[in-house]
Amino acid sequence: MTIDTSEVGSPGWWLKRLMERLGNDQRRLTLLNDYYRGEPPLPWGPENCRETFRRMQRKARANFAQLIADAPVERMQPVGFRTGAAGDLNGDDQAWRMWQANNLDAEAPLLFSAKSSMSRAYTIVGGPDPSTGFPLITCEDPRQVITEQHPANRRRTIAALKVWADDVAQADRAKLFLPGIVFTARRTRSDITGSPVSFDASGWEWENDGERLPAFAADIVPVTLFPNRPDLSGATLGEFEDVIDSLDRINLMLLQRLTVGIMQAFRQRAVKGNLPERDAEGNEIDYGEVFVADPGAIWELPADVDIWESAGVDLTPLLESVKADVRDVAGITRTPMFYLFPDAANGSAEGASLHREGLIFKTSAHIVQASDPLEQTMALGFLFMGDTERAKRPDMEVLWQAPERVSMAERYDAASKAQASEVPWETRMRDVLGFTPQQIKQMQAERIGEQFLARTQQNQETAGVSAGG
């Protein structure tokens, strides 16, 4: 079925609009991912010897981008969810089962890494998966998915598109999500192996008339945007995107150091004085054979001839300039220096604490930004299950592990003081000792068992004393 893209607001019009937006973002998103993967553009080199320098250029790239992007992600760990139906401060068991059924313990860090490195990521919620009985929740790459957000509420998705290459079917495929309906489209290609998708609306055909979502999801687009460092206009920014010039400068200085080091291994040599062109028998002298670069070679020179060799170059200024640039990047991105330079861990405890504090503040901001789309994703999952009580978005709350990392000694010291202040046991376990909801429930069961055994033993001892008396 040929797709008509001319009518404003029609499925074909949305397909074209979103496909063009996704295509326009490919260059930027691919560049950010290349930096994250440690494959940024090669540092600048002379045009007349580009091939000679290419191998050195590859070795001059340092992957600081991944360290910057992953520093907050490592401290973002959801441990549970509260819902309107749970009535449990330690989390809802049904929500956690849905999380586990979709392997989100493993998938969520990939989602957060994509968001951090490429400035955004997505989740898509579908109908129940027969293998688990729970709605299918997938984490999506921003190079394949794009959304249109409501102009008055940028947290609300009004249209979405996913495009990917299906090399098995030798075709490009697309899914268009509009409120309450999902369209699928296909474009056949003769050779798709290794070839990227062409993001234009030509050649596509609808595979169906649209698959209606259940009645309770009639106005829902089940695709959720996870923005990174968004502004009020809705624009997003990768975690290292605003320091790319600094990262390029660091790689350029690393190339200079590598070049100087290699050139010094083969120092320039020159002859001072006049060497004879012919020997005593009149034969032309081949000085390439005379001056053999061999540890056991001895060179015989005329009395009035000297050998000059270029002096070594001090690499310290180059090393210090790289460290200065890395310090600037660490300060701008609020990444602790000991993440980027391991020897910085030998600094003062107070300095390390200040560096960590900046990372904690940044991670806390990431957690705030990620909480809303995570809650929206889980609410959509319950909606597809028909559990309207748990699907109430205002009642959904994500429980996160605290981004601070403190020693067990510090935790138990604080717990003792909290107990002396008559802080309830569950609060101490959750907020002070940092146990997950699942661990707290297990400990509660163990406490009940221990109390039962203690009472049984006490009753037996009492009964024994009474019989003996």
What tens-digit pLDDT sequence spans the chain (469 residues)? 678 888 899 999 999 999 999 999 999 999 999 999 988 887 776 665 566 666 777 777 888 999 999 999 999 999 989 898 866 666 788 999 999 999 999 999 999 999 999 999 999 999 999 999 999 999 999 999 999 999 988 889 999 999 998 888 888 999 999 999 999 999 988 676 666 788 888 889 999 889 999 888 889 999 999 999 999 988 999 999 999 999 999 888 888 887 777 777 666 777 787 888 887 788 888 877 777 777 777 877 777 778 777 776 777 888 888 888 888 998 889 888 878 876 655 555 555 566 678 889 999 999 999 999 999 999 999 999 989 889 988 889 999 988 887 777 777 777 788 778 878 877 777 777 777 777 777 777 777 877 778 787 777 777 766 665 5
Residue keyed to tokens 């330690």: 90
Per-residue pLDDT at 445? 78
- Of 228, 231, 188, 204, the closest CA to residue 18 belongs to 204
Triad 24, 30, 31: Cα angle to 5°: 105
Q: Burial of 392 by CB count in 10 Å (0-12 exposed, 13-18 middle, 19+ buried)? A: middle
Q: Does residue 372 belong to any structural domain of this protein?
A: yes
- Write out the E strands in 364-422: 397-400
Contact indicator for 80, 97 with CB cutoff of 8 Å: no
Residue 292 placed within a domain: no
CA distance 205 to 426: 57
pLDDT for res 157: 95
Collapse the DSSP code of 312 into the 3-class scheme (helix H, G, I; strand E, B; otherwise coil) and give the result: coil
Q: CA torsion, points 243, 248, 252, 255, in degrees to nearest 10?
A: 110
Distance CA 189, CA 59 (A): 38
Task: Please answer whether residues 178 and 187 qualify as being in contact, where contact means their C-beta atoms are separated by less than 8 angstroms.
Answer: no
Encode pLDDT of 40-77 as tens digits: 887 776 665 566 666 777 777 888 999 999 999 999 99
Closest Cα to residue 206, out of 180, 173, 178, 181? 173
CB 159 within 8 A of CB 18: yes
Of 106, 107, 100, 102, which is closest to residue 121 (Cα–Cα)?
107
- Residue 303 CB: number of other CB atoms within 10 A? 5
Q: What is the pTM of this model?
A: 0.80
Return the pLDDT at 138: 97
Which pLDDT belongs to residue 194?
62
The 10 Å CB-count burial string (b at 16+, else e) for 59-97 is ebbbebbbbbbbbbbebbbbbbbbbbbbeeebbbebbbe
Q: Three-class SS of residue 214? A: coil
SS3 content of the chain, % helix, strand, coil (to 5): 50, 15, 35
Is residue 233 in some structural domain? yes
Tally of CA atoms within 13 A in the half-sphere of 250 that contains its CB: 21
Question: Residue 355: what pLDDT?
Answer: 66
Structural domains in the chain (count): 1
Residue 419 lies in a domain: no
At a CB cut-off of 8 Å and minimum separation 6, what does 5 contact? 12, 13, 15, 16, 201
What SS3 class is residue 398?
Answer: strand
* Interatomic CA distance for residues 380 and 384, integer angstroms: 6
In DSSP notation, 11-52 reads: HHHHHHHHHHHHHHHHHHHHHHHHHHTT-PPPPP--GGGHHH
Q: Would residue 294 count as lying in a domain?
A: no
Please indicate, yes or no, if residue 169 is contained in any of the structural domains: yes
What is the predicted pLDDT for the residue at 136? Answer: 96
Is 436 inside a domain boundary?
Answer: no
Q: How far apart are CA 178 and CA 148, in angstroms?
A: 10
Helical ranges in 201-296 per DSSP H: 244-265, 287-290
Q: How far apart are CA 330 and CA 68, in angstroms?
A: 8
pLDDT at 460: 75
Range of the domain at 51: 1-273+310-405
> What whole-number distance in Å separates Cα of residue 297 and Cα of residue 460?
96
465 domain-assigned: no
